[in-house]
Each structure stands twice: as structure tokens, then as C-alpha cells.
């Protein structure tokens, strides 16, 4: 009987140990999956010539592991190579960024293809640690007058262009992403199957939702439909946060908000977003505004810049 009691006791301890291990594994999985990933847009690529150390240090400090860096003719390839090598050493990916509102039009398709070819050629001539990891396209035809009267036609042309661009990017071995507004889920695909947002998500590796609000809950709510669609499609979604000035309303940006408020609202986005397998993190628009805010540097409002 004593032996039997001893075996029962050992079995109980073994079961308890297994349960504790499972709980620990569950906690570790949740911790790693909830790790905060951030991206940022860097539009003025000219500053990387002199400010690479500062940009990399700030990005690491803020938890940025992806930079969408605009590719400009005025910036030499050697400057990009030096910057990307430094970023890679800091475990930060760099994606080539470009796009114009009229790139959605059929006659502008080749401009997008030429940009992708430029990145492909650059990568082919660069060392592995100097290459762009991918491309982000920022094409916003709804800013142009034609959208008001020919929305359906523009969407059809835009989709055909995106098909060509994503195919070219895939052939070049590039991770393809697109910056899109949150309201594409309220538009139908020109091909007649589902929402326009679902169509876009299905063709790209990832999207960055411009869900610009000064509330983490609202940013998530505006992105939820796209997150659900991406969950289903196995794609990734960045939720965008605006820090720069905008004429569209102060509720769309953290421009006038204190840093503490901005960080609190971003934390809410992470808390809500981690319930989605597609959630990639928060993308901050943009680097210059973010750096100025964190360092207490006054950044002129748009009307002040014109003056």
C-alpha cells in the first residue's frame, strides 16, 4: 500500500509539472507573439547621407524594425548601400518607398514597373546586406479630381496596375506592400468578387492601413475589417499612426498631443491588434515628425511652412 501511495504521489507531481510546463509555454508564446513591432516612413531620403547614425539609434530606441525609405534620384546608390548596411546591422529592414497618385491610371503603369525594376537592378548590384528587403507602394488616386466622377473606372485601372506591379515584385524576389486608406473595405473589387480591400490584400504580402486617428481604439476599429480579411488570407497588416500636421482635422493626428498620450494610444493598438494573426505592428507616419516630437523640436504646421 505504501508503494502504491508513493506511486500515486509521484504521478500527481508529474501531472503538476506537465501542467506548469504547458502554462509556461503558453505564457512564452503570448509574450513573443505580443512583441511590439514598429515601422516608420522616411520620405526625405537626403538626410541619410549625414544622419544615418542618428536615424538608426532613434529607430532602435523606439522599437522600429522596418523603415519604408523613399528612393530619390538625388540620392546616390552608395548612400543607400551605406544606410541599409547600418540598418541591417541593427536588425532593421529597409523597404524602398515610392508612388504617385496618378500611378493608378493605366497610362502610368510603366512608371511603377520602372521603379520596381530600379530596385531590382540596385539589389542585383549590391551586397546582400545592402539590399532593399522589399517595396512599399503609396498610390492614392482619390486625391485627384478624376476619382469624383470615375471612381469605378479608376479602381479597375488601379487593380490592373497592381497586378502587374506585384508580379514584377515577386519575380524580383521583393516583399511587396502597399499603403492603403481604411475605407477600401467599403468599395467593391472591379472584378466583382468581394471588397476592394480584400482584393488588394490578396495580391500584396502586406498592407499598411492609414487608419489615422488620435485614439488607439478608433485606429483598431477602422482597421478591423482589413485585419479579419488578412487573417483569412494569411497576409500581414500594419496599422498606421499619423504624427505630422494635417489640414483634415486634429483628431487624425498626434501632432498637437503630448508624447505620453501618443504612446498610450499606440499601446492600445498593440493590445487590440495582437488578437489577429495578421497584425504586423504599428507604422508611424513619419520619421521626421516622430523624431521632432520625441525630442521636443518644434515642427512647423503646414500653414506656417507656406508663410
pLDDT confidence of residue 16: 59
pLDDT confidence of residue 35: 76
User: How far is it, in rounded angstroms, from Cα 120 to Cα 172?
Assistant: 6
* Architecture in CATH for domain 37-306: Alpha-Beta Barrel (3.20)
Percent share of the chain, pLDDT over 90: 84
Which residues in the chain show pLDDT less than 70? 1-34, 299-307
| 40 SS3 class | strand
Task: Kindly provide the residue ranges of all beta strands, DSSP E only, lying in 99-140, ordered along the sequence.
Answer: 134-137
> Rg of the chain over CA atoms, in angstroms?
23
Return contacts of 234-237, CB within 8 angstroms, 24+ apart.
Answer: 234/278, 235/201, 235/202, 235/204, 235/205, 235/206, 235/207, 235/278, 236/177, 236/205, 236/206, 236/207, 236/278, 236/279, 236/280, 237/201, 237/206, 237/207, 237/208, 237/209, 237/276, 237/278, 237/279, 237/280
pTM of the model: 0.88
pLDDT confidence of residue 193: 83
pLDDT tens by residue, 22-71: 555 544 444 444 479 999 999 999 999 999 999 999 999 999 999 999 99
Q: Where are the domains of the chain?
A: 1-33, 37-306
Q: Which residues are paired to 105 by β-bridges?
A: none
pLDDT confidence of residue 256: 94
Amino acid at each position: 500500500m505504501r508503494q502504491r501511495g508513493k506511486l500515486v504521489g509521484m504521478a500527481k507531481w508529474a501531472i503538476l509539472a506537465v501542467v506548469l510546463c504547458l502554462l509556461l509555454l503558453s505564457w512564452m508564446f503570448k509574450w513573443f507573439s505580443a512583441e511590439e513591432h514598429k515601422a516608420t516612413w522616411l520620405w526625405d531620403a537626403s538626410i541619410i547621407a549625414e544622419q544615418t547614425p542618428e536615424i538608426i539609434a532613434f529607430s532602435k530606441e523606439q522599437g522600429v524594425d522596418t523603415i519604408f525609405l523613399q528612393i530619390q534620384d538625388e540620392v546616390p546608390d552608395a548612400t543607400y548601400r551605406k544606410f541599409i548596411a547600418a540598418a541591417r546591422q541593427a536588425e532593421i529592414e529597409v523597404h524602398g518607398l515610392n508612388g504617385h497618385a496618378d500611378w493608378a491610371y493605366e497610362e502610368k503603369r510603366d512608371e511603377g514597373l520602372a521603379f520596381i525594376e530600379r530596385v531590382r537592378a540596385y539589389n542585383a548590384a549590391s551586397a546582400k546586406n545592402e539590399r532593399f528587403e522589399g517595396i512599399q507602394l503609396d498610390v492614392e488616386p482619390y486625391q485627384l479630381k478624376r476619382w469624383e466622377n470615375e471612381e469605378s473606372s479608376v479602381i479597375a485601372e488601379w487593380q490592373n496596375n497592381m497586378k502587374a506591379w506585384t508580379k514584377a515584385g515577386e519575380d524580383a524576389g521583393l516583399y511587396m506592400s502597399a499603403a492603403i486608406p481604411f475605407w477600401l473595405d467599403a468599395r467593391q473589387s472591379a472584378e466583382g468578387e468581394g471588397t476592394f480591400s480584400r482584393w488588394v490584400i490578396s495580391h500584396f504580402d502586406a498592407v499598411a492601413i492609414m487608419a489615422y486617428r488620435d485614439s488607439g481604439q478608433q485606429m483598431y476599429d477602422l482597421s478591423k475589417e482589413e485585419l479579419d480579411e488578412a487573417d483569412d488570407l494569411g497576409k500581414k497588416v500594419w496599422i498606421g499612426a499619423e504624427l505630422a500636421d494635417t489640414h483634415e482635422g486634429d483628431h487624425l493626428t498626434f501632432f498637437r498631443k503630448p508624447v505620453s498620450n501618443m504612446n498610450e494610444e499606440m499601446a492600445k493598438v498593440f493590445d487590440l491588434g495582437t488578437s489577429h494573426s495578421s497584425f504586423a505592428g504599428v507604422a508611424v507616419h513619419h520619421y521626421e515628425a516622430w523624431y521632432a516630437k520625441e525630442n521636443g523640436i518644434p515642427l512647423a504646421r503646414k500653414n506656417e511652412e507656406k508663410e
